[in-house]
Amino acid sequence: MTCLPAQTDKKLGLVIDLDTCVGCQACVTACKEWNTGGHMAPLTDTDPYGAHADGVWFNRVHSYEHTTELGGRTVNFPRSCLHCEQPACVTVCPTGASYKRASDGIVLVDEDKCIGCKLCSWACPYGAREFDTDVGVMKKCTLCVDRIYNHNLAEEDRVPACVAACPTSARHFGDLGDPTSAISQLVEERGGVALMPELGYKPTNRYLPPRARSERAAKVDAPALEPIKAEGGFLGWIDRMLSN
């Protein structure tokens, strides 16, 4: 069970555009809202209104300042499960609770088999898995497996909740195993990157780096205010009278 499929029919995943993400946290709250009633429900919160609020979230948005010789920029960075092709979180699982689906490559946890040993969270370099102390089992992003195949939803809504919620269309969902899919084309066009490729987990999700600075933009500087020139006629007479 925790042995990985040699290959998957599809490689469903997310592409996140770091150029357009504004860090509004809409994907974070939409994820929590859907999933606390979804496949991995509940996403327990402990002391939610107290001084030490904590809880299970599948999606967390960090903010960084990226400084290069060209200058600095703020980058908002959503972090969630990358549904790796070589997910060590699955192979380390002693019980068979963690598995990678051969059909679409989604990495899931069977909550009824999980013993809560937490080893999978140690094996994930990306911090994608969070332990639910209340239920005593590990939880993680399901790629909204209960939305994307859900025939009770309108076809355009069959995308992960985070993708549906994003107001700047910074999040894209699709089959990254199909080079002709729109999402693969987007990765190709924008030079999408994998995170920590040196560790060999082969993440499915891709991040689109912020676009290069452009000098092509039109000058929008307004001309500086200058003293009004003396005019002739009636207005000129008023100007002279008021200037006295």
Q: How far is the CB of 240 from other proteins (least distance, A)?
A: 57
Q: Which residues contact 4 (CB under 8 A, 6 or more apart)?
A: 85, 86, 87, 90, 91, 100
Site string for other proteins, 124-163 (x = CB under 8 A): xxxx--xxxx-xxxx-------------------------
Taking CB under 8 A as the criterion, the residue among 9, 22, 66, 182 binding other proteins is 66
Given the DSSP bridges, would you call strands 98-100 and 71-79 parallel, antiparallel or unpaired? unpaired
Of 88 and 148, the one with the shorter C-beta distance to other proteins is 88
Q: Is 33 in the site for other proteins (CB under 8 A)?
A: no
Q: Decide if 89 contacts 98 (C-beta within 8 A).
A: yes
> How many Å apart are CA 90 and CA 192, to the nearest integer?
25
Distance CA 135, CA 138 (A): 9
Give the footprint of other proteins on residues 204-233 (CB under 8 A).
207, 209-210
Q: Which of 121, 153, 181, 190 binds other proteins (CB under 8 A)?
A: 121
Q: Binding of other proteins at residue 61 (CB under 8 A)?
A: yes
Q: Convert residues 101-120 into a mask of x (bound to other proteins by CB under 8 A) and - (unbound).
A: ------------xxxxxxx-
Question: What's the residue count for the chain?
Answer: 244
- Is 60 an interacting residue with respect to other proteins (CB under 8 A)? yes
Q: Name the 3-class secondary structure at 165.
A: helix
Residue nearer to other proteins on the CB measure, 60 or 101: 60
CA proximity to 43, closest of 148, 175, 152, 131: 131
193 secondary structure, DSSP code: B
Least distance to other proteins, CB of residue 65, Å:
5
Copy the structure tokens of residue 165.
Answer: 């919620």
Alpha-carbon 85 to chain mean position? 18
Least separation in angstroms between CB 233 and other proteins: 58
Contact segment (CB under 8 A) with other proteins among 142-150, 170-178, 203-211, 235-243 equals: 203-211
Please answer whether residues 32 and 57 qualify as being in contact, where contact means their C-beta atoms are separated by less than 8 angstroms: yes
Alpha-carbon span 164 to 63, nearest angstrom: 22
Taking every pair of Cα atoms in the chain, the longest distance, rounded to a whole number of angstroms, is 94
Whichever of 68 and 214 has its CB closer to other proteins, that residue is 68
Residues that bind other proteins (CB under 8 A): 1-4, 18, 28, 51-57, 60-69, 74-75, 77, 79, 88, 90-97, 113-119, 121-127, 130-133, 135-138, 193-201, 207, 209-210
